[in-house]
DNA sequence: CAATGAGTATACCGAGTGGTATACTGTCCT
DNA sequence: AGGACAGTATACCACTCGGTATACTCATTG
């Protein structure tokens, strides 16, 4: 593994465990077995490191999401696939998802929130597109795609958050429950 | 307002906006119009300040919660009251709830999470008691009180989080929806 | 009056912060 | 061979961090 990858990997581990603000550049460098100028050579700044980290992981997540967000008239089916994909991604990228989640709920003026907002818009838009398509079949959904996408993602992220702390398991039963809870919320 | 209260108030504002780690003791002191030794006189350390802040606000929240968590055989009714109470509390203590929420999702080894965990257990237990009582009337709920309390609080907190970012409104309709979504989750 | 003790400020501490100027390597390309 | 350039390390910068030693003020109390 080259130094750049080593830095990214160690930074992810440290940020996920203690948070962006609480981890120093020096510490990351030591963990990666390099020195600070090397880190600054690749990423320019601590914040740039965070951006690169988020960027690279998020494009992967978005590709997964794009593959699974195809709508063919059966919204529960698509939502089930999306939920499964997100659960699966969270389970196989626990560290990253943990970091991403804590940043999602970070204070409004924190650098963490700023960083993740820059990157997160696409994910939201993919989901919004899905709900816009579905609204063509279900009139009462029209005009609420933004709210639906946010709520859906919020619910999923909550479940993942609970699962990461071992309060529940991300099994098929939970997928089923989550989707039906959400659908129930739409048609009531 | 005495200096102690001024410090607490300013610390809350700053922590809620930028996070515990990103705010320095010096900055809190300046915002409160005092100097560091005064702060250390009252709270001993930066972490002690955070603990006091959480402690005082949480006892207030717990009192609200205790008043409203009375079970008389109608679980949806009680949950509606609890949800309303939490929504109301969040709406009237936006800054504090914002801080509390970001700490709830803070990285596992962060001081923020440690601090809130020390204080949060009681809240969880109040809800668990409710579900234990309800399980006497609904056999299929038995033994899951812990999961129910966690999931319920998680759901409520997600809605509040979305509301704090103006993605939705904490109105009676949402209370109804949330409670029914949750009840649906139990009996399916 | 003298003594106590809470509350506050000045001035300081060592350690660590994010970030960089400089110089040295090695590997390409001409 | 020689220049360019990515990559890396040593040593440093000014600044901020959480925390404190000391001394002062002032109200309470013996």
Same domain, A146 and A72: yes
Same domain, A105 and A28: no
Label each residue of A26-84 as H, E or C: HHHHHHHCCCHHHHHHHHCCHHHHHHHHHHHHHHHHHHHHHHHCCCCCCHHHHHHHHHH
Extract the tokens encoding B77.
Answer: 């009714």
Same domain, B91 and B28: no
> Is the C-beta atom of A42 closer than 7 angstroms to strand D?
yes
- List bases, strand D, within 7 Å of protein CB: 7-11, 16-22
Same domain, B39 and B72: no
Alpha-carbon span A159 to A57, nearest angstrom? 20
Answer yes or no: is pLDDT of A50 > 90: yes
Alpha-carbon span B103 to B114, nearest angstrom? 9
Nearest to B52 by CA among B113, B5, B102, B101: B5
Answer yes or no: is pLDDT of B88 > 80: yes
What does residue A138 show for φ and ψ, rounded to 5 degrees?
-120, 95
pLDDT at B187: 79
Which residue from B minimizes the CA distance to A108? B17
Answer yes or no: is pLDDT of A9 > 80: yes
**Domain holding A28: CATH number?**
1.10.10.60
What is the domain range of residue B32? 1-44
Same domain, A12 and A64: no
Question: What count of Cα atoms within 13 Å lies in the side-chain half-sphere of residue B77?
Answer: 5
Extract the tokens encoding B165.
Answer: 């970012």
Same domain, A176 and A96: yes
**Domain holding A75: CATH number?**
1.10.357
Q: What is the pLDDT of residues B8-47, one digit of tens each?
A: 999 999 999 999 999 999 999 999 999 999 999 999 999 9
Q: What is the pLDDT of residues A102-124, one digit of tens each?
A: 999 999 999 999 999 999 888 99
Residues 34-63 of B with CB under 7 A from strand C: 34-38, 41-42
Same domain, A144 and A71: yes
The angle subtended at Cα B71 by Cα B68 and Cα B77, nearest 5°, is 75
Same domain, A30 and A68: no
Q: What is the pLDDT of residues B143-169, one digit of tens each?
A: 999 989 999 999 999 999 999 988 889
* Contact status, residue B42 vs residue A41, Cβ threshold 8 Å: no
Residue A184 forms contact with B (CB below 8 Å) = yes
Work out the mean pLDDT of chain A and round it to a whole number. 95
Same domain, B75 and B4: no
pLDDT at A188: 72
pLDDT at A185: 78
Same domain, B35 and B68: no
> Is the C-beta atom of B1 closer than 7 angstroms to strand C?
no
Partner residue opposite A181 with nearest CB, options B147, B168, B181: B181
Alpha-carbon span B85 to B87, nearest angstrom? 6
ipTM at complex level: 0.92
Same domain, A33 and A117: no
B41 CA to C3 C1' in angstroms comes to 22
Nearest to B181 by CA among B155, B162, B158: B155
Same domain, A81 and A166: yes
Residue A13 confidence class, pLDDT cut points 50, 70, 90: very high
Total domains present in chain B: 2
């Amino acid at each position: 593994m080259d130094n750049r990858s080593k830095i990214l990997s160690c930074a992810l581990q440290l940020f996920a465990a203690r948070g962006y603000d609480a981890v120093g550049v020096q510490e990351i460098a030591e963990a990666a077995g390099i020195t600070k100028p090397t880190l600054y050579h690749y990423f320019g700044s601590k914040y740039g490191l965070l951006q690169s980290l988020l960027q690279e992981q998020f494009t992967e997540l978005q590709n997964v999401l794009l593959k699974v967000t195809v709508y063919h008239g059966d919204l529960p089916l698509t939502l089930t696939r999306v939920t499964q994909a997100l659960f699966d991604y969270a389970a196989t990228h626990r560290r990253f998802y943990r970091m991403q989640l804590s940043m999602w709920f970070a204070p409004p003026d924190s650098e963490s929130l700023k960083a993740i907002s820059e990157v997160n818009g696409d994910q939201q838009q993919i989901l919004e597109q899905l709900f816009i398509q579905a609204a063509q079949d279900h009139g009462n959904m029209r005009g609420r795609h933004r709210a639906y996408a946010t709520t859906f993602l919020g619910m999923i992220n909550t479940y993942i958050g609970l699962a990461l702390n071992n309060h529940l398991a991300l099994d098929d039963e939970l997928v089923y429950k989550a989707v039906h809870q959400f659908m129930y919320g739409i048609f009531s």
